[in-house]
Structure 1
């Protein structure tokens, strides 16, 4: 008994499935990005909650927000500045 490997048709079909899946992933990622950015613009939810719900990392959401012209809430910026200053004082 011989085992037949994949055929060209098998590979072609798998390639087509991969492309279709990649297209669907891009569409769903684009839709999620718009929802995340809209939520950040509206400010009804904390950025950490939006980030957690999205499944993306905080760094990725922050980068998308900055690229979309969404600046950090002043309260978060002040907190980050205080934390950064405190950290610098500890290492000095």
Structure 2
């Protein structure tokens, strides 16, 4: 950026770029969300692979999936339950 004082036009142009970029991010995030949820519904790709490819964390993808009514694969649920029981104290 120049060392001279910014003009109103420069500020307005920068504001326009920020809004434009925010709109693009919102649109691309919505498109990515739909692709991720569609892939999870189809079940052909592993959820961890879908999360990795999306750039979102596994936790974020799981949260989106649950909010969209997509429950975990039954095999995962059974495995998670076995692991939970194995970690419980013996006297519990």
Higher helix share goes to which structure? 1
Per the TM superposition, whether the score is higher than 0.5 is: yes
* Partner of residue 73, structure 2: 73
TM-score normalized by the length of structure 2: 0.88
Q: Secondary structure at the match of 1:89?
A: coil
Unpaired stretches in structure 2, ≥5 consecutive residues: none
Alignment of 1:1-92 (within 5 A): 3-89=3-89
Distance (Å, rounded) in 2 between the aligned partners of 1:13 and 1:89: 62
Q: How many residues are treated as equivalent by the alignment?
A: 89
Distance (Å, rounded) in 2 between the aligned partners of 1:7 and 1:86: 66
Distance (Å, rounded) in 2 between the aligned partners of 1:24 and 1:84: 42
Residues 4 and 75 (structure 1 numbering): CA distance in 2 closer, same or farther, change over 3 Å?
same
Give the alignment's Cα RMSD to 1 decimal.
Answer: 1.5
Distance (Å, rounded) in 1 between the aligned partners of 2:48 and 2:77: 14
